[in-house]
Chain A
Amino acid sequence: MLSFISRRLLTAVPTLFVVIAGAFFLMRAAPGGPFDADAQLEPEVIDNLRAAYDLDRPVIEQFVRYMARLARGDFGPSITYADYSVTELLAIGLPVSLKLGGVAILVALAVGCLLGIFAALNRNRWIDYVTMTVAMTGFAVPAFVVAPVLTLIFGLYLKLLPISGWNDGALSNMILPVIALALPQIAILSRLTRGSMLEVMRANYIRTARAKGLPEYKVVASHALKAVSLPLVSYLGPAIAGIMTGSVIIEQIFGLPGMGRYFIQGALNRDYPLVMGTVIVYATAIILLNLLADVIYGYLDPRVRRE
């Protein structure tokens, strides 16, 4: 197992490098620069600024210098937030995004699995159809529609929940963003769970387990559940990626001080180091969580387990 993990971590290095290089050159290729909005500045000042951030050098050289810096664990200074280093900004944003995304994925897993099992047990009854139709709608409606509608109903009309702000992650501030973020994942996970459950319960080995005289709860818990959860674990990687990209929009809509906000601010202002920092953190998180999903998968399914 350990060698499997270290091997996977090793292959993650080139992946990460490609992501970094891609982001770096794409961003330099995009029109505009960090000081375009500062038109009132003297040209010499701008030149000095560009020199301070290495922007006067050829792009390849900029990249090499950036990578060298990165190798020392330094993400560089932010351009927009002049008094902060990118590392400091990430230290502010990451805990917020982690908490929001973590809670959202847990909520999505819990609700999605329950709905799916519930629908599977009531297959082809109206309750199944209603659950699955709602799930499909939840998937089809994008977050930037769901979020304002939720805010409108619970924040402005009912005045039950704050419409924005983080407030140090207070429960009432988290409810709406978590719902908006988890909803599409709930939709997918519930459909996956339902299908997986129906499929597994038809398997020959389930019939064998019943033929042994095991009560149904043992048949399900001991012979079915692991197999039912396999497609869910496979989907965990994409789900996490979905939550991450979703949180970029959701953090913006609800005004939360997370990674997503720094990513968007960075991108709009061509704050190259800041964008690079957020991209690297996102990519690393996705790689690590996918690895975690693979480890769980190997634990659940002996056929893919490696020595």
Chain B
Amino acid sequence: MMAETTARPVRAQGGEPVLQCRDLNVHFQTGEGRISAVNGVSFDLHRGQCLGIVGESGSGKSQTFLAILGLLASNGHATGSVVLNGEEILNTSRRKLNAIRGEKMAIVFQDSITGLTPHKRIGEQLCEVLTQHRGMSRSEARSRALEMLELVRIPEPARRFRMYPHEFSGGMRQRVMIAQALLCQPDVLIADEPTTALDVTVQAQILKLFKGLADHTDTALVMITHDLGVVAGLCDEVMVMYAGRAIEQASVDSLFYDPRHPYTRGLLACMPRADRDSESLTAIPGQPPDLSELPPGCAYAPRCPQAFDRCLTERPSLDLAVEGHLKACHLENAP
């Protein structure tokens, strides 16, 4: 059996992964005790690949990638190993991180509506990324930034360049954030629920943009989302997280057609589908566990319809179910 800390990349791909994460743990020190937000997460990300991260609210999706970028809140601490282009970057110096952030690895934050500085013009906020990393002149940076704004379908970019964030709608601010993350053509782009604030048509356009990015460039994309439809349309690999752990990792096809973990099956069952009316739309009953005192067994066991004795006492490790498909569950065979 394979220990979860040494979990292999799900699908063998040519070459070194651009981002390699091993046994990542994140905990927060709070007044009420120690919260384990991320527990032993490992994955590989290859060039041009799109990795989807799904899981309920609070499952540690965002904190995983904030930790990788060194952006945890001051009460948070990360352990483990994160290797970007062959170089260890977890808990490295601020100087090294600054050279990576925005240039090699960029992130579109979940709450990007409040993510732009209110008292700086949009143009300045975009251009400073290029002057910082590329040493571009003002006019070079400006034309590149305008290009990016057009790419994310901001109408009249030249006029909007001089505007302040409050003059933009929520959806437009989100698109500015996406443009900002793309400026330096990063090796890794992390998109944390990038389409939640957008209406359906713009959402489709933006997803198309991401899709084009994943298909036609070398940029590796991490797509954090609640929307399994987005994962199906965009991603190559999926990691399902529960209570800070990866409980299933597989290629998209394998995960959708042959889910191995009861939690994943639960998520899939909750997906709205054309052949079901909306009344049967459900959520998995029950609550995720308290992260400050995780149970000794499987964290999902209290909610799992198929749980048995062993699930409550022994934590399942993330093991190979079939080739390229990892699951952390004691159930041997999927029904």
Contact = CB atoms under 8 A, between A and B. Distances in A.
Interface in A206-241: 207-216, 218, 222-223, 226-227
A209 B78 CA distance: 21
Given A216-B94, A302-B164, A302-B166, A211 B118 contact: no
A207 B101 contact: no
Contacts of A223: 117, 120
B114 A212 contact: no
Contacts of B100: 213
A212 B109 contact: no
B132 A227 contact: no
Interface string B132-146: 110000000000000
A302 B117 contact: no
B120 A214 contact: no
Given A207-B109, A213-B98, A302-B164, A227 B69 contact: no
Contacts of B101: 210-213
Contact of A211 (B99, B102, B117, B120): B102
B119 A211 contact: no
Contacts of A211: 69, 71, 101-102, 106-107, 109
Nearest to A202: B73
B305 interface: no
Contacts of A204: 109, 111-112, 114-115
Interface in B201-237: none
A208 B133 contact: no
B20 interface: no
Given A204-B114, A208-B177, A303-B166, A214 B128 contact: yes
5 contacts: A203-B114, A208-B112, A215-B94, A215-B98, A216-B94
Interface of B: 69, 71, 94-95, 97-103, 106-107, 109, 111-112, 114-120, 128-129, 132-133, 164, 166, 177, 180
Given A204-B115, A210-B101, A222-B120, 5 more contacts: A203-B114, A207-B109, A212-B128, A212-B129, A215-B98
Top 10 nearest A-B pairs (CB, nearest first) are A213-B101, A213-B102, A212-B102, A302-B164, A204-B114, A205-B117, A213-B98, A208-B115, A226-B119, A223-B117
